[in-house]
Amino acid sequence: MTSRSNIPGHIAIVMDGNGRWAKKRNRPRSMGHQAGLKALRSVIEESVRNGVKFLTVFAFSSENWKRPASEVSQLMKIFLRALDKEVNELHENGICLRFIGEKSDFEAEMQTKMTNAETLTATNRQLVVNIAVNYGGRWDITQAARKLAEAVAEGHMAVADIDESRIAAFLALADSPDPDLFIRTGGEMRISNFLLWQSAYTEFYFTPILWPDFDTGELTRAIAAFQSRERRFGKTSDQVRSTISA
């Protein structure tokens, strides 16, 4: 069980290792993604139990279109089926679902199901789950820059008004606080174009565990590692300690 104090309010996860998990078992990669979905379901449940308020997961990157067409199509089938099967139960448990990324590249059926899930769960606040699909951190910053330029061109904003908070307001996660903890499974130690802007002061946790094996015990371990860190946000250790004891 996780210590109740200093729970990360927002956890971001790169769910890596589904393909290797399947390969180790001589099964098709799609089986790994299916097992990955199961792991995601249990991480959502455990996040609620621990009082985490925002969870952002990388389900499909802007670069994942480059995978073999058969794998992309299997992933789309898994997403569609998950939207049909899981959304009502998530809704009953107070979960708010949001999809971030360039959604217009998906087929109409997928877009409709994502919008319906967002509408149904919009006011739920037990846990907000942001699912990044066709997402990339550079895409996000680029689309925000374009919107800012439009606002200036249309006279709604002056160039001098552009500051960090205005940029953040146009990013896909404008309604979520910055992540406190960033978890990447599968052994790679890189950010892979995930939440570039939002991770400026996020604590990183890398584990070799493959995503389908990331169970509630692994989440507890990641949260415990976060709880042992000192977050200074640019200040000195002495300054941070005097604020805590004040």
Interface positions with ligand FPP (CB under 6 A): 15-20, 33, 36-37, 40, 59, 64, 78-79, 82, 131, 186
Closest approach, Cβ 60 to ligand FPP, in A, equals 6
Question: Judged by CB, which is closer to ligand FPP: 92, or 150?
Answer: 92
Instruction: Answer whether 218's CB lies under 8 Å from 205's CB.
Output: no
Residue nearest to ligand FPP (CB): 19
Which H or E element spans position 119? helix 108-121
Question: Judged by CB, which is closer to ligand FPP: 15, or 52?
Answer: 15
221 alpha carbon, distance to own chain's centre: 19
Give the residue ranges of DSSP H helices in 134-215.
Answer: 137-153, 164-170
Instruction: Answer whether 181's CB lies under 8 Å from 12's CB.
Output: yes
Closest approach, Cβ 56 to ligand FPP, in A, equals 11
Closest approach, Cβ 79 to ligand FPP, in A, equals 5
Residues 6+ apart with CB under 8 A from 107: 76
Which H or E element spans position 19? helix 18-24
Question: Judged by CB, which is closer to ligand FPP: 144, or 183?
Answer: 183
Q: Which of 16, 18, 134, 180 is catalytic?
A: 16
Question: Judged by CB, which is closer to ligand FPP: 10, or 113?
Answer: 113
Q: Is 93 labeled as catalytic in the residue annotation?
A: no
Q: Is 105 labeled as catalytic in the residue annotation?
A: no
Closest approach, Cβ 61 to ligand FPP, in A, equals 7
Residue 25: how many CA atoms within 13 Å on its side-chain side? 15
Q: What's the Cα-to-Cα distance from 138 to each of 111, 159, 207, 210, rounded to whole Å?
A: 22, 21, 25, 26
Q: Which of 6, 64, 124, 193 is catalytic?
A: 64
Residue numbers annotated as active site: 16, 64
